[in-house]
Structure 1
Amino acid sequence: MTGAEALLLLAAGAAIGAVGGLLGIGGGVIAVPVLLEVLAARGMAPAAAAPLAIGTAQAVILLSSVSAALAHHRAGGIDPALLRAWLPAVALGGLAGLALAPFLPAALSLSVFAAIALALAVSLLRGPPEGRGDAVPRGLLPPSAIGLLSAALGVGAGTLSGPVLGLLGLPLSRAVGAGAVFNLAVALPAALGFAAAGQVDGIATALLALPAMAAAPGFARLATRLPVARLRLVFALCLMAIALRVGLRLL
C-alpha cells in the first residue's frame, strides 16, 4: 500500500467517525467507495474487490460503532423504546442479508448501493417531516429491510435507519443514537462472516477504524448540542458524489 493510499484511508476513517458520531451513520457509504478505489489501484478486478470492500467496511463499522454507541449512551442519546421496537428485526434482517451477500453479482450490489445512496441524499435534502412526538414507528418490514440491505451491501444500518425513521415521522434527534446501535448489531455478525471467508483487509481496517474510533465519541457528544441542518446538506452532497462515482464504475 502506498503512502497516498494510507493517507486516503486515514482521512476517510476520520470522516467515518465524524458522521457516525453526529448522525449515527455507518461508515460503509464512505469506506466502500474509498476501498474500491484503493483495490482498483492495486489491479484487483471489480468482482473480487466488491466483497472485500464490503467485508472490510463491515469490520470498520463494527469498531467505530462501539465507540459511537458508548458515547451516545453516556450522553443520554439512546432511545430505549426505539431499540426495543426495532433492534430485533434489524438484527434478524442483518443475518438474512449476510446469507444473501455471497450470491449477489458485483454489478448488482454496486447498482443497488448507488441507488440507495442517491435516494438517501434526496431524502436528506428534503428534510424530515414533522415529528409525531413519542410515537415509535411499528412494523417488522422497515427494520428488517434495513438490516438485510445493510449486511448485504456493506452500508451501515444507521445510514438507512435515520432517513427511514425521518420519513416515518420520528425526529432525527431520536434516531441518531439508535442508529449507532443498529450499526453495531448488523456489523458484528457481518464482520465475523466476511472475516471467516477471508474478505476483510486487516491493514485497511486498521487505517480506517483507528481514526474513526478516535473521532466518533467527540462528535457523538456534539450531536446533543449542534444543529444538524448544515450537516444534512453536506452529507447529502457527499452521498450524491458517492452515488455518481460508483455509478461511473459500472459504465
Structure 2
Amino acid sequence: MLNIGCHLSVSKGYAHMGNEALSIGASTFQFFTRNPRGGKARKLDEEDISDLQKMKEEYNFAPLIAHAPYTLNPASADPKVRNFAYMIIEEDLAILEYLPGTLYNFHPGSHVGQGVDKGIELIAEILNDLLKPQQKTKVLLETMAGKGSEIGGCFEELKAILDKVHLTEHIGVCLDTCHVYDGGYDIVENLEEVLEKFDDIIGLHRLYAIHINDSMNHMGSHKDRHARIGEGKIGIEAMERIINHSKLRDLPFILETPNDLSGYQKEIELLRSLYR
C-alpha cells in the first residue's frame, strides 16, 4: 500500500490529527510542532499523545513527520536567531520522545551572507549539541529550492552537513519534489539519473521521507511554489513514476499542496489509484 498523508494542524490535539488522517484515507501525516512562524509549542498532554500512539499501532501508520517552524534558522549570523533555533529544536525533540519513531524535519536555513561553509558549520554545531545517543526521533534535513542564501539547494550541501554530524544514525534527508525540481534536478525526464546522483552523493539509505508536491514553476527556477498534484510543471506522469520507483515506493509520502482536507483526500485517492 502507498504510505501517504498530508499536513495537518496540531491545534486540536494529536489524537484529533490521527482521526482526521483516517477520515481521508491517509496512512501517515505531517504536523507542525507549533505555529509555523514560531511561538510556543502546544502544551504537553501525555494522554492525548498516548491515544495517537495507540492509533498508530492499531491502524499500522507509516512513520509520522513533525515539521519544525519555517522561521528556524540555525545557520544565521545573528546569535539570537541561532539561539531561537536551538531552543525550538531542543523543545521539539523532548516532546517527540513521547511519540517514538517520529521523523523530525527542518529546513537547514540560510547563511545570510556568511557563505555556505560557515552556515553548514553552524547547523552541524547545533545538531551535534542537541542530538543524543538514546533519542527515538530521527532528524531530517529537507532538500531546498536554493532561494537566495538558502542552504540545501543541492545534494552536496546536505552531504556536507551530514558529514559533520557525529551521531549519524539519528539524521537523514527528506526529499521535496517541488524543491528539487525548482532546484534544477530533472525528476520529470531523468528521475533515475537524479536518484543515482542522490545515491552517489548522500546515499539512498539516508532518505527517509518524501514531500510529494507539484511545482508552479519550471525546473531550475529556485522559486519554491507548490502546486496541486498534476496541476504544475512536474505533472501527473512524473508523480506516478516517483511513487512507483523501487527505491522510493515504500517511503512515507506527504502532500504539502495548496488544499483543504477534502482536496487532500482526492489527491490521496488519485495517487493510490496510480500505485502499482
Please, what TM-score do these two structures have when normalized by structure 2? 0.26
Larger Rg: 1 or 2?
2
More helix by share: 1
Please, what TM-score do these two structures have when normalized by structure 1? 0.27
